[in-house]
Amino acid sequence: MKARPVVPVRTPAEQGFHMPAEWAPHAATWLAWPHKEASWPGKLDCIPPIFATMARSLVSGEDVNICVADAAMEAAALAVLGEGGVALDRVHFFAIPTNDSWARDHGPIFLNREDGAQAIVDWDYNAWGNKYPPYDLDDQVPRRLGARLNLPVFHPGMVLEGGSIDTDGEGTLLTTEACLLNPNRNPSLDRDQIEARLRAYLGVETILWLGDGIAGDDTDGHVDDLTRFVAPGVVVTVVEDNIHDANHRPLAENLARLRGLRDARGRRLDIHTLPMPVAVECEGQRLPASYANFYIGNRAVLLPQFACPQDEVALRVLEHLFPGREIVGVDCRDLVWGLGAFHCLTQQQPCPWPPR
């Protein structure tokens, strides 16, 4: 009997899927309830109320879906959300345990197709280069959610965190050499092979590479602390004016790169700048505080604040860039002790296009 020929699975791009931009309409925002003391040593109790603030700001425009380990964690979360004035009818819990709360990096990346179909990409996850084991539960989240949501799940066979990429939904993707080319992620893949998988599994065409990340960033340079798309052809990027600060040179170099790039439509980028906040430290450690780590919801944009004069400047910049959304500034000095902020903690689930 002859063996059946192996028929390769067509990639998402070959099937017409692509990753929408973050500002495209959401069906929901996904969170993973905070529970790991080691992520916020001595400050874990300060973090759930910040999650309640996030949820309260988002539920006016979309559902908030929260992964919890069990019924006890759900009950604890409900109590905090209730005390925080969250409209609980738009909050939904999923019994999917996690090692940590950084849903942007371990969670699913959702894809859309023009006929209304949706899918999930399940990138491999190794906790930013095997820095924080164990991470086995986090690595399983996308496939578990795919099963719960009855969505097909694609497996590229490549380590990638959601915070390391940003897309305009029109074929252009931003990333950094410091992260994606780091040998602690995919040592067997070169730049061309990594680009090929990004195109095949996210439906993008043009990949724009920046250089290094900001001081204190344990992710090896995630782009969501540096530069973000805010509309097709439009980016906002952080700059540091203090020439003596460690962030001045890498951010200036990234800005220079951006000025020479074109997107998938051949457009030169319309570049807006955000200041960096004053240096935020805890226990002698420089933390990756950045206004670029904002999250775009349907009706609100969550903006990190750090109790310094630059907070107001950043808020005004985003008010100009998102005129139809409320800019919600929240003190993140405790949150960033976990080495991340709002974008790191969230993952958007887009509405199907066109709406079913």
With tokens 């495209």, the residue in question is: 24
- Catalytic residue from among 67, 179, 332, 344: 344
The residue count for the chain? 356
* Amino acid making up residue 165: I
Q: What is the pTM of this model?
A: 0.96
Q: What is the overall mean pLDDT for the chain?
A: 96
Q: Is 344 an annotated catalytic residue?
A: yes
Domain ranges of the chain: 26-350
Q: State percent of the chain over pLDDT 70.
A: 97
Phi, psi angles (nearest 5°) of residue 132: -135, 65
- What DSSP character marks residue 339? S
**pLDDT at site 9:** 76
Question: In this predicted model, what pLDDT tens digit does every residue of 315-356 receive, in sequence order?
Answer: 999 999 999 999 999 999 999 999 999 999 999 999 998 754
Question: Structure tokens of 55?
Answer: 């949820």
Mean pLDDT computed over 165-183: 98
Long-range contacts of the stretch 242-245 (C-beta < 8 A, 24+) = 245/215, 245/276, 245/279
Q: Look up the CATH number of domain 26-350.
A: 3.75.10.10
Lowest mean pLDDT among 1-15, 234-248, 336-350: 1-15
